[in-house]
Amino acid sequence: MTNATQLPGAGQPIVAPPGLEGVVAAETSIGDVRGEEGFFHYRGYNATELARLCSFEQVWHLIIEGELPDPDRTREFRQETARLRTLPEQVAKLLPEIASVEPFAPLEALRTAVSLTASVIGLKPVLDIPAEELRSQAIRVSALVPVILMGLYRAHQGLEPVPADPELGYAASYLQLLTGEPPNEAHARAVEKYLILTMDHGFNASTFTARVITSTGADLGSALVGAIGALSGPLHGGAPSRALQTLDEIGERSRAYDYLHQKVESGERLMGFGHRIYKTDDPRSVLLREVALETGGEQARFAEYVEQTALEVLHELKPGRRLYTNVEFYAGVVMNSAGIPREMFTPTFASSRTVGWTAAICEQASHNRLIRPLAAYVGPPPPRPLPEGYAYC
């Protein structure tokens, strides 16, 4: 840490703004978001360029190992990670039980299953293991998340799990584990671009959560469970199915303006718009709009119309707030057109983001300092005397 970002000693607290907005809380070499420029990168490489030109495995390798792999290393990494797509027997046995909890919420089920997997494969506190072991755990769990997710989804549908096809890359395998069918190439590539675009995104809430948990020396599984919990909130990862729901509720172009106007006027937020960091176009939404228009047919064209109308409404009712389309707006259209069920949208986001979370966990563990900020106490002045006669009962 540089001096500028070091926490002060006791006695000189810095009062951070609500939501820690604008506060630098760590150093990272994984990636960064430049909100004013509408740019984000992974280890210095433009992330949208990576999504356009690379496979999931190439970018996964870049994020977790620090370098873009050459073709030989990519082949090796692809084989290495494909081999890891086998669930431990105990986990496979219990997935149907987890999936039987009603109402079925796949992200909650994933959270439970990741916790179970961490125990079954014996993940030890990061404080007690060397960096190489943590890296292997990170890759193994990242490879298992799609298998867990699709196993849960299929179990809930009363279907047997599909054995993973080791010949397929991560994105194609993701779709094959869902349906059991060889995936359509265009769909697999569209989903791959989405997955690459969502692998990491600076010091977002779930990554921060993973780092806080890692900073205590806890195991990788605990950090991932916390991160999944943070991602589940609609202000973070829970928006893509809600954005698609908005499209359904609007139904036709002629209703868009009134519907959106009424929502914002009544104080509601339009899902898929606004971002804490981006104060211009979110580069992820720009690429996903393109991908959606390639694969999403009429729904994508309707979404584009609704997007333009929403931006007009926000400009009219929230002037000067610099609200733009975020990643979640077109994410739903892209996943829907690839056949991913709506309830699996946020879990799909969790699957790709596991790459970023695990890289952040490894980075935190390698330069660890317990994350332990202060809170300004604003309750009744202490010490308060107990009410007279107040006693144990």
Buried b / exposed e over 261-278, threshold 16 CB at 10 Å, is bebbeeeeebbbbbbbbb
Q: Is residue 324 at the binding interface for ligand ACO, with CB under 6 A as the rule?
A: no
Q: Is residue 323 at the binding interface for ligand ACO, with CB under 6 A as the rule?
A: yes
Selected from 87, 113, 271, 350, the binder of ligand ACO by CB under 6 A is 271
Please give the C-alpha separations between residue 76 and each of 69, 83, 84, 138, 197, in angstroms, as whole numbers: 10, 11, 13, 17, 23
> Has 275 been annotated as catalytic?
yes
The nearest distance, CB 57 to ligand ACO, in angstroms, is: 23
Tell me which residue of 3, 19, 28, 4 sits closest to 276, measured CA to CA. Answer: 19
Tell me which of 328, 343, 363, 388 is the catalytic residue. 328
Residue number, 250 or 323, with CB nearest to ligand ACO: 323
Residue in this structure with the two tokens 């500028």, named with its chain if needed: 4
Q: Is residue 321 at the binding interface for ligand ACO, with CB under 6 A as the rule?
A: yes
The nearest distance, CB 154 to ligand ACO, in angstroms, is: 27
Identify whether the C-beta of residue 215 lies closer than 8 Å to the C-beta of residue 371: yes
> Has 187 been annotated as catalytic?
no
How far, in Å, CA of 239 to CA of 335, rounded?
Answer: 13
- Mark the segment that binds ligand ACO (CB under 6 A) among 45-53, 83-91, 218-226, 318-326: 318-326
Q: Which two tokens stand for residue 2?
A: 């540089």
Residue number, 137 or 352, with CB nearest to ligand ACO: 352
Tell me which residue of 328, 123, 351, 133 sits closest to 228, measured CA to CA. Answer: 351
Q: Which residues pair with 74 in a beta bridge?
A: none
> Which residues from 83-142 bind ligand ACO, rule CB under 6 A?
none
Q: Is residue 235 at the binding interface for ligand ACO, with CB under 6 A as the rule?
A: yes
Selected from 151, 183, 272, 356, the binder of ligand ACO by CB under 6 A is 272
Q: Is residue 275 at the binding interface for ligand ACO, with CB under 6 A as the rule?
A: yes
**What DSSP string runs through 274-334?**
--SS-SS--HHHHHHHHHHHHH-HHHHHHHHHHHHHHHHHHHHHSTTS---B-HHHHHHHH
Residue number, 133 or 281, with CB nearest to ligand ACO: 281
- Mark the segment that binds ligand ACO (CB under 6 A) among 35-43, 123-131, 148-156, 233-241: 233-241
Q: Is residue 239 at the binding interface for ligand ACO, with CB under 6 A as the rule?
A: yes
Q: What is the DSSP letter of 42?
A: E
How far, in Å, CA of 349 to CA of 328, rounded?
Answer: 10
Q: Is residue 270 at the binding interface for ligand ACO, with CB under 6 A as the rule?
A: yes
Q: Is residue 274 at the binding interface for ligand ACO, with CB under 6 A as the rule?
A: yes
Q: Is residue 269 at the binding interface for ligand ACO, with CB under 6 A as the rule?
A: yes
Selected from 325, 326, 337, 352, the binder of ligand ACO by CB under 6 A is 326
Where is 46: in which H helix or E strand? strand 45-46
Selected from 156, 189, 236, 289, the binder of ligand ACO by CB under 6 A is 236
Binding mask 246-265 for ligand ACO (x = CB under 6 A): ------------------x-
The nearest distance, CB 28 to ligand ACO, in angstroms, is: 18
Identify whether the C-beta of residue 190 lies closer than 8 Å to the C-beta of residue 53: no
Identify whether the C-beta of residue 107 lies closer than 8 Å to the C-beta of residue 350: yes
> Which residues from 165-194 bind ligand ACO, rule CB under 6 A?
none
Residue number, 154 or 275, with CB nearest to ligand ACO: 275
Task: Count the site residues for ligand ACO by CB under 6 A.
Answer: 20
Residue number, 176 or 285, with CB nearest to ligand ACO: 285
Tell me which of 41, 156, 236, 275 is the catalytic residue. 275
> Between vectors from CA 369 to CA 364 and to CA 374, what angle results, nearest 5°?
115
Identify whether the C-beta of residue 264 lies closer than 8 Å to the C-beta of residue 311: no
Q: Which residues pair with 40 in a beta bridge?
A: 33
Selected from 273, 302, 345, 357, the binder of ligand ACO by CB under 6 A is 273
The nearest distance, CB 269 to ligand ACO, in angstroms, is: 4
How far, in Å, CA of 100 to CA of 202, rounded?
Answer: 35
Where is 254: in which H helix or E strand? helix 253-265
Residue number, 168 or 243, with CB nearest to ligand ACO: 243
Catalytic residues: 275, 328
Footprint of ligand ACO (CB under 6 A):
235-237, 239, 264, 269-276, 314, 318, 321, 323, 326-328
